[in-house]
Amino acid sequence: MILLDRVTKTYNKNMGSALERISLHVEPKEFVIVVGQSGAGKTTLLRLLTREERPTSGKIIIGGIDYDKLKDKDIPLLRRKIGVVFQDFKLLPNKTVFENVAFALEIVGMGNREIRHTVPKVLDIVNLKGKENRMPLELSGGERQRVAIARAIVRQPKILIADEPTGNLDPKHAWDVIKVLEKINKYGTTVLLTTHNQEIVNKLQRRVITVQHGKIVSDRANASYEV
């Protein structure tokens, strides 16, 4: 569950607020699309959710964790509950597909035996079975993004944030990525997708939240979107 109650974020008082009194409630297992022009406040919203930024005012509660009471030492634990996928993949170029995904487990201290058991299952979910030993440069853009998704979900987060995950992809590979996100959502993960792609929004017919000038101007179920 994601709850924001009258959240404001101001970086510079002379520039106005990046977000202004945003209130938002996302149920567990929902698939929500966040849309808005560049500079509308979408990225600031996501950075608040992952605790890369702190709100100037207002309350944030995610998965029962009250961010007001969150100690700095507990932030890594929080981030294990939130997977994040970016537009530019952020893969390690000198590691294979398997190694890129395994790395997310190594850094939290999982043993080799469990890693060998877990990674193939996740690669199967993102339709990359048989590509375990490929290097990132041997993959298409869509495949690289699916490796990034596998790495983001391998620790079984409750929430997956996908920030413009299809921004660099052609339409076919973009839809491959969206289908994987839908599959992950069916398994019970809450998905928060930001996108500029009008066709994706209109075909998915999911809940759409529109951000404009730091405010939520629309929040509709089964919605379409016009740029």
CATH number, domain with residue 191: 3.40.50.300
Tokens 């058991």 label which residue?
A: 117
- Decide if 44 is inside a domain: yes
Percent pLDDT > 70 in the chain is 98
Q: What is the pLDDT of residue 157?
A: 93
Average of per-residue pLDDT across 78-105: 92
Domain-located, residue 200? yes
Looking at the domain assignment, is residue 105 inside a domain? yes
CA atoms within 13 A of residue 197's CA, in its CB half-sphere: 23
Percentage of residues of the chain with pLDDT beyond 90: 79
User: Which runs of E-coded beta strand occur in the chain?
Assistant: 2-9, 19-26, 31-35, 57-62, 65-66, 82-85, 159-163, 190-194, 207-212, 215-220
The pLDDT of 111-132, averaged and rounded, is 95
Residue 199 lies in a domain: yes
- Asked whether residue 126 is domain-assigned, the answer is yes
Closest among 96, 12, 88 to 56, alpha carbons compared: 12
Q: Which domain holds residue 152?
A: 2-220
Buried b (16+ CB within 10 A) or exposed e, 59-84: ebbbeeeebeebeeeeeeebeeebbb
**227 falls within a domain:** no
Is pLDDT of 222 > 80?
no
Looking at residue 63, its pLDDT comes to 87
Which of 149, 169, 143 is closest to 85 using CA atoms? 149
pLDDT for 9 beyond 90: yes
**Amino acid at the residue 95:** K
Instruction: Answer yes or no: is 110 within a domain.
Output: yes
Contact 148, 90 (CB under 8 A): yes
Summarised one tens digit per residue, pLDDT across range 164-207 is: 999 888 999 999 999 999 999 999 999 999 998 889 999 999 99
The pLDDT of residue 225 = 64
Residues 6+ positions from 224 with CB-CB distance below 8 Å = 201, 202, 205, 208
What is the side-by-side strand order in the sheet with 19-26? 19-26, 2-9, 57-62, 65-66
Q: How confident is the model at residue 97, as a pLDDT?
A: 97
Give the amino acid at 90: K
What 8-state DSSP symbol labels residue 18? S
pLDDT at 226: 62
What's the mean pLDDT when you consider all of the chain? 92
171 within some domain: yes
Q: How many domains does the chain have?
A: 1
Helix-, strand-, coil-residue percentages of the chain, each rounded to 5: 40, 25, 35
